[in-house]
Structure 1
């Protein structure tokens, strides 16, 4: 007994000839269908290259197109020729011109002999398959598809919408339950004969001529009608990406293919010389006689698809970057944002660095430059402090900063004086810890000694900006961890908010706050606020600030912001 191969070829004919000769020399009959779109000159050369192999025949040629019945017709013609010409073939194996045998033919024949009468074809109902693409699963059997999906896409889509609107439903032939699966199967001679010479074949063919992608459903459905020993799996290793396109195997997949223990693999890159040499040489590992188990490499392919579609958190790539919200986390690691603390406490970043171990920067979104720690003009990843470069894409500036400094938690100051373009990005980021003191923007104005009319105008503008930012921070859709205090509450009891900062942002073991940073001297600040109120500006974000406060151990800094 032997196994016969039906090969569907349309490209890389030199490689198809190499594989066909390999099987032919080992006693396997072969019938080859060559797409009618292949030039006659190339077909003649291909046929001539195999003319010395008496067990290789060529079937009638059809012009094949993806997703159309022509692929089924080509398979039918080649299979009919196989059944008529090679009576010794007890199993017929459907392969493509880009397939490559991974194990000796003798092992495949022995494997099938032990399972005589068993059909190997992936066959599952539409409710049980996850790989259907384009929103068409059961509809591919109940609608009509007279137009080519590749050549006539607009007509295809419009006709589908029209049928849905008119609630058109085709009648599925009596006794058939639509099944789907891989195009590449291995059927017994009896089963294939029963399908090809079924008394209702004309009826079945008429129906499947208007089914979408019938090569993945014709044999998969009819095998359930004529066979009672179906193993719903393919003996051919074929993997598909998230778009439903087949993975191509290259030379560096050699070890991966060997691990699968499968008999045949597709789709092989025509230039993969190492693969063709290794698997067609006739030298095989004697230990490689296990049950075919593509699951051994499923994890690797699943990981590759996940990396391609989801990526690593906080790392953007060209395949996903232009697509809004098509990301895996906005940033790569946790970071802390302090709003108002830098205005209220003297040299707050230095205190933060000593107390929490955070890499603390100044105002990264300051109007003139990004204030990197230690006054650096260029930071990790060649990030420049140039405001023009930063503001070209403020969100990606932060994303790059966090990605480039993975393993070291970053912190920076932010406020209404800064460029606000990242103000919507930070609240959406679950990696962000935001600690906000509202109304602290008034402190630099208080100590600035500028004309009051100018101070009043700036106070109104800054409060408006901060009010809009607070609305974002308090939005139910915010995913950052947010802590908000009014300036009045913090001045009354600074230890409690600072303790919260240490507990939630520190990279060290949280301890009781032992050192409180020096606060700006707020003597006369209450009178300053009253003057703003008298001028018609209500500083409500500051909170219920007392009329006059003098801080213990307070000092006036040189505030220029």
Structure 2
């Protein structure tokens, strides 16, 4: 008899009885505390069910509400009975009714017998604790918390705010340094006796009774006063999510728990029959005798927390639709947006598809409809080409397009005639590759047969829209990879920027460069067209400087042949 178990129960008493019998069968005495919230009839039945076990005691009942003094008072009362009635106990192990022994109890007894002077209790100063949730680290020891955080949250918050406003501070009892850690500890008889019989215990109890979550601070602080040797870790495997709530283990966590090599795990779902059967009755498959190492599964829990808090990049769904700035990326994969290329080059989309092997769409944010590749009306994931559906949430439309086609790079066209509501989203997306030939929209007006007065008004409107878009792309908030050329500088040497774009997309090209160049539109007279706009009072500056006398690009005569750029 070297290990005594103090068990705090408040629900699922049938499971608590099963675990208590398991502890008792290994020769461990138990002192059980049942929460006051447990109905008297239920408690009497539970007590009667364990009456056949000679080494089971019950302590005075307290109300054990989370974050309040009751949990410490319950632990004190049960521990005192353990020390008084079982003098052969060397270590006292604090557990709950939802704890489950993962290894044979005899291994725990042997493990502690080899370390008779060691206290296993997680104990760290507030400056060294990274896991506190709620913003109350040092303040939980310097403010008063007379109100329940769960039942009287409004009063709790207001009283904290009042103390901060009035700069009220409590005095920490002399001689102690507040520490924090897991409430599930295993202390030696000497340390626990010293804590419970300390002459200053009344002072410490008064102080900690108004500390927030005292069960994570009382024994953790006072153990530092008396312990000969502290192992600042708990022998109980307990994990918490990003909100500070304990993870609950279910049947499908069986192999995960076995990998931990821990002696006890918390918190177990009461209906996890497979877990209880495996660890309480299946001695043949018990874990090997080895040092507890919860770090083996820390990586899995870390990934689970990250998935829960950040989600998968570019995925939005009913169960997780984050607010702006809290999403894990706008999109799930890299994509390319081209502005001005379809206006300057004939059949640019099929050429780009051949050159890169990607899926190349038209203007997916066009006013009439989303111009999907191959003139499709519905894309992967039942994504419709309806402009009304798309414009209801352009952000979600783009994210869905990239997510539904992941594994295949998407390219699409954009221009000042398209829906501009998506501009900032794309600019701030690190997955976006944006290539812009500014002023290329004027080629379409140049080739149109419209009244020149209408052309002038439309040119002024489109230039204003594109100018605002370029301001966004040049903003310090932009995270996309952006390349901007004026139309004049692009047509002087088009192959170099085209090769740069193709290389960045990652197409499988030969080292000799692009084998086939796209055909440029006939720009004969384009310089004079821009001059006419100037003569009418409109200043087309986004295109760059075009000479008026001759065309900057002579159209090719005859059949176009592919050529190589060396």
TM-score, normalization by structure 2: 0.95
Which range moved further: 543-552 or 399-408? 543-552
1:260-307 C-alpha deviation (Å, 9 max, x unpaired): 111111000001000011111151446610011111111111111111
Residue 223 of structure 2 is aligned to residue 215 of structure 1: no
Residue 229 of structure 2 is aligned to residue 233 of structure 1: no
The change in CA–CA distance for 1:487 and 1:324 in structure 2 (over 3 A counts) is same
2:146 partner SS: coil
1:530-557 C-alpha deviation (Å, 9 max, x unpaired): 22222222111111112141743369xx
Residue 532 of structure 2 is aligned to residue 531 of structure 1: yes
Q: How does 1:66-105 map to 2 (within 5 A)?
A: 66-105=66-105
* Aligned residue number for residue 554 of structure 2: 552
Q: CA RMSD in A?
A: 1.6
Q: Within 2, Cα distance between the matches of 1:445 and 1:112?
A: 86
- Is the CA contact (8 Å cut-off) linking 2:117 and 2:228 kept in structure 1? no
- Is the CA contact (8 Å cut-off) linking 1:235 and 1:292 kept in structure 2? yes
Q: Within 2, Cα distance between the matches of 1:150 and 1:265?
A: 25
Deviation at 1:492, TM superposition (A): 2.8
Deviation at 1:328, TM superposition (A): 2.0
Q: Within 2, Cα distance between the matches of 1:123 and 1:434?
A: 53
Deviation at 1:423, TM superposition (A): 1.2
Q: How does 1:431-470 map to 2 (within 5 A)?
A: 431-470=431-470
Q: How does 1:101-116 map to 2 (within 5 A)?
A: 101-116=101-116
Q: How does 1:412-431 map to 2 (within 5 A)?
A: 412-431=412-431
- Is the CA contact (8 Å cut-off) linking 1:434 and 1:480 kept in structure 2? yes
* Aligned residue number for residue 544 of structure 2: 543
* Aligned residue number for residue 558 of structure 1: none
- Is the CA contact (8 Å cut-off) linking 1:118 and 1:230 kept in structure 2? yes
1:398-449 C-alpha deviation (Å, 9 max, x unpaired): 1122122222211111000111121111111111111100111111111121
* Aligned residue number for residue 196 of structure 1: 196
1:541 partner SS: coil
Deviation at 1:504, TM superposition (A): 2.2
* Aligned residue number for residue 175 of structure 1: 175
- Is the CA contact (8 Å cut-off) linking 2:429 and 2:480 kept in structure 1? yes
* Aligned residue number for residue 50 of structure 1: 50
Q: Within 1, Cα distance between the matches of 2:287 and 2:312?
A: 38
Q: How does 1:149-548 map to 2 (within 5 A)?
A: 149-281=149-281, 283-285=283-285, 288-318=288-318, 320-509=320-509, 511-547=512-548, 548=550
Which range moved further: 78-87 or 489-498? 489-498
Q: Within 2, Cα distance between the matches of 1:438 and 1:511?
A: 28
- Is the CA contact (8 Å cut-off) linking 1:357 and 1:506 kept in structure 2? no
Q: Within 2, Cα distance between the matches of 1:167 and 1:531?
A: 73
2:156 partner SS: helix
- Is the CA contact (8 Å cut-off) linking 1:104 and 1:282 kept in structure 2? no
Q: Within 2, Cα distance between the matches of 1:60 and 1:550?
A: 96
The change in CA–CA distance for 1:181 and 1:318 in structure 2 (over 3 A counts) is farther
Q: Within 2, Cα distance between the matches of 1:494 and 1:109?
A: 79
Which range moved further: 186-195 or 154-163? 154-163
The change in CA–CA distance for 1:469 and 1:284 in structure 2 (over 3 A counts) is same
- Is the CA contact (8 Å cut-off) linking 2:524 and 2:554 kept in structure 1? no
Q: Within 2, Cα distance between the matches of 1:22 and 1:201?
A: 34
Q: Within 1, Cα distance between the matches of 2:115 and 2:513?
A: 73
2:504 partner SS: helix
Q: Within 2, Cα distance between the matches of 1:245 and 1:6?
A: 22
Deviation at 1:321, TM superposition (A): 2.1
Q: Within 1, Cα distance between the matches of 2:524 and 2:369?
A: 31
1:440-461 C-alpha deviation (Å, 9 max, x unpaired): 1111111121122222221111
The change in CA–CA distance for 1:157 and 1:299 in structure 2 (over 3 A counts) is same
Deviation at 1:144, TM superposition (A): 1.2
Q: Within 2, Cα distance between the matches of 1:220 and 1:319?
A: 38
Q: Within 2, Cα distance between the matches of 1:284 and 1:205?
A: 46
Deviation at 1:169, TM superposition (A): 1.9
2:90 partner SS: strand
Q: Within 2, Cα distance between the matches of 1:533 and 1:49?
A: 98
- Is the CA contact (8 Å cut-off) linking 1:502 and 1:511 kept in structure 2? no
* Aligned residue number for residue 22 of structure 2: 22
Q: Within 1, Cα distance between the matches of 2:261 and 2:287?
A: 10
Q: Within 2, Cα distance between the matches of 1:511 and 1:279?
A: 66
- Is the CA contact (8 Å cut-off) linking 1:330 and 1:429 kept in structure 2? yes
- Is the CA contact (8 Å cut-off) linking 1:143 and 1:170 kept in structure 2? yes
* Aligned residue number for residue 561 of structure 2: none
Q: Within 2, Cα distance between the matches of 1:209 and 1:506?
A: 64
- Is the CA contact (8 Å cut-off) linking 1:12 and 1:270 kept in structure 2? yes
1:133-178 C-alpha deviation (Å, 9 max, x unpaired): 1111111111111111111212222222222222222111111011
Q: Within 1, Cα distance between the matches of 2:264 and 2:461?
A: 71
Q: Within 1, Cα distance between the matches of 2:10 and 2:42?
A: 10
Residue segments in structure 1 that go unaligned for 5+ positions in a row:
556-561
1:456-494 C-alpha deviation (Å, 9 max, x unpaired): 221111111101100000011111111111112223332
